Structure 1
Amino acid sequence: MSTTHSFEPAVPVHTYQRIVDQIEQAVISGDIPVGSQLASERDLMVQFGVSRPTVREALRILQSMGLIESRPGTRGGPVVLAPSSKTLSRSLRALVGTDALDVSALVEYRVVLEGTTSRLAAVRHDAEQLERMRAAIEQMERYAEANSDSFAAADIEFHEAIWEASGNEVLRLTGEAVSGVLRAIIQRDVENEHHDNRLKLESAAIDRSLFAAIEQRDGARASGIARRAVADRFGLLVESDLDRRALAALAE
């Protein structure tokens, strides 16, 4: 017995994308070492059996991805670059900026991110990182009754300082990758509160208690404060009962 289903029309993959995929895989696997040069455009045309415009489009995309770089004076093709923090940030920003991730997933991510980085920051922070956190808290308190945009910027600065102090590069990079989305939610949150100074002061007070736990190197307390703060503040953005229960479990 056959069934009917509504399918989207099949879309052929562009030839240049096949070139991009092959070169990207060769770089990731190490078959093409970082720092080496790709073949010249003419050689790539022969290897792939395509036209020069197709090769150039593939190289343009690879360069925009941060995988290759054209350097003046090179006799061969573009130079292969090591994966960078900017590459990861750009990819993650593209992901969270689309419908691929909903708000619930983003809120859950932030609960995990803040809880884990706060615990690690309590162990690994140095004096300079601690001072950066302290300064951000003071700015939040200063701007709570004046400028909402500056308050939101100081809030993000505080959490970015924690991500850095965690000493975990992956957590820091992924935190930075979604910082634009987090900033937008924070600013919208402030606007919806009609610039309620009391709520902003409460937020600053929670962050100050988090700062105190990190300063005292109490990782368990810092993690708990951070997780609960995110769940309480952004829980209203989570719509389904199942997602709300999951968020509550993460915040425990």
Structure 2
Amino acid sequence: MGGPRFEPVRAVRAYERVVEQVEEAIESGSLSPGERLPSERELMVQFSVSRSTVREALRVLQARGLVRSRPGDPHGAEVLPFTPAALHKSMTTLARVAELSLAELVQFRMVLDSSASLLAARLRTDGQLAEMDAAVGRMRAAADHDAFVAEDVAFHDVVARASGNKLIQICTDVVRSIVLGLISEKLAAAPDKRALMRQTIEHHEEVLAAVRAGDGPLAARLTREAMYDYYADYVPAGERPALRALLE
């Protein structure tokens, strides 16, 4: 017999409906950061559910970084401002369950960082340029690899901030930490860290010169090339064409 094929339906638990409605209220702006939800008792009445259902919904909302609920607080849970934490958790989970490959993450980082470099070359302030210069100087003076990595991160953070785009800032931070987390053991086992550090400094100096000159396309190309040089060996050979597709 023809016609559509239907999938079995999943029973939705009451607390999930509570979570959905609160999320919708936050997303629509009906609930703003700093405001409070009604008390547990009032939520029980409004949703017509048990106290355990309300508490389970609040646990889920808190785990997602949407509200903060303190035990024994007579007031309702507080709606929190947006932070990158929820995005970081979601993307980390995707990476760990292999929905996002290392190649996809690195490719996305190449896109993000090169776009940030292009915008920074055109929009950066003199103060931000001085911050980039100082970060590279501290990379040269770093006494150990950990200090070097901290200054490397600082350089990229300034470039992302100089782009003027908050979403680029958030996403670059999230993707960078996930990628570094996935290859941290391989980085720790790298045979010649000093050579790698010298190469990284050279790349940063080239990007910095392009940003200083206001040459956005050059800054973007150099950033993509630097990312490829740094990460390609950690990506399976069969997936490297996805990275090379971003090179000119």
The interval holding the TM-score normalised by the smaller chain is 0.7 to 0.9
Task: Call closer, same or farther: CA 1:85–1:166 in 2, change over 3 Å.
Answer: same
For 2:246, the aligned partner's letter is L
**Structure 1 residue 208, shift from structure 2 partner:** 0.9
Q: Which stretch shifts more, 215-224 or 130-139? A: 130-139
Task: Call closer, same or farther: CA 1:17–1:101 in 2, change over 3 Å.
Answer: same
**Identical-residue share of aligned pairs (%):** 36
Q: What do residues 6-56 of structure 1 show as CA deviations (whole Å, max 9, x unaligned)?
A: xxxx98554323321221123213344555443332232133332112202
Task: Call closer, same or farther: CA 1:215–1:96 in 2, change over 3 Å.
Answer: farther
RMSD: 3.0
Counterpart contact for 1:63–1:69, Cα < 8 Å: yes
**Structure 1 residue 202, shift from structure 2 partner:** 1.4
Within 2, Cα distance between the matches of 1:221 and 1:188? Answer: 32
For 1:162, the aligned partner's letter is V
Partner of 1:248: 244
Q: What do residues 170-228 of structure 1 show as CA deviations (whole Å, max 9, x unaligned)?
A: 00011122332243357545433223422321121111111111111111110000011
Task: State yes or no: 1:169 paired with 2:150.
Answer: no
Partner of 2:156: 159
Within 2, Cα distance between the matches of 1:185 and 1:93? Answer: 10
Within 2, Cα distance between the matches of 1:26 and 1:149? Answer: 43
For 1:209, the aligned partner's letter is E
Within 1, Cα distance between the matches of 2:221 and 2:64? Answer: 37
Partner of 1:6: none
Number of residue pairs matched?
242
**Structure 1 residue 244, shift from structure 2 partner:** 2.2
Counterpart contact for 1:156–1:183, Cα < 8 Å: no
Q: TM-score, normalising length from structure 1? A: 0.81
Within 1, Cα distance between the matches of 2:67 and 2:211? Answer: 40
Task: Call closer, same or farther: CA 1:240–1:32 in 2, change over 3 Å.
Answer: same
Counterpart contact for 1:148–1:195, Cα < 8 Å: no
Partner of 2:6: none
Gaps of 5+ in 2: 2-8
Task: Call closer, same or farther: CA 1:211–1:13 in 2, change over 3 Å.
Answer: same
For 1:62, the aligned partner's letter is L
Q: TM-score, normalising length from structure 2? A: 0.82
Task: Call closer, same or farther: CA 1:34–1:154 in 2, change over 3 Å.
Answer: closer
Partner of 1:106: 105
Task: State yes or no: 1:29 paired with 2:28.
Answer: yes
Query: What SS does the aligned partner of 2:240 have?
Result: helix
Counterpart contact for 1:90–1:177, Cα < 8 Å: no
Within 1, Cα distance between the matches of 2:157 and 2:53? Answer: 41
For 1:45, the aligned partner's letter is M
Partner of 1:49: 48
Task: Call closer, same or farther: CA 1:147–1:48 in 2, change over 3 Å.
Answer: same
**Structure 1 residue 230, shift from structure 2 partner:** 0.8
Counterpart contact for 1:69–1:79, Cα < 8 Å: yes
Counterpart contact for 1:120–1:219, Cα < 8 Å: yes
Task: Call closer, same or farther: CA 1:13–1:87 in 2, change over 3 Å.
Answer: same
Within 2, Cα distance between the matches of 1:59 and 1:155? Answer: 39
Q: Which stretch shifts more, 48-57 or 34-43? A: 34-43
Counterpart contact for 2:103–2:242, Cα < 8 Å: no
Q: What do residues 227-248 of structure 1 show as CA deviations (whole Å, max 9, x unaligned)?
A: 111122211233253x322211
Counterpart contact for 2:145–2:193, Cα < 8 Å: no
Query: What SS does the aligned partner of 2:100 have?
Result: coil
Gaps of 5+ in 1: 2-9
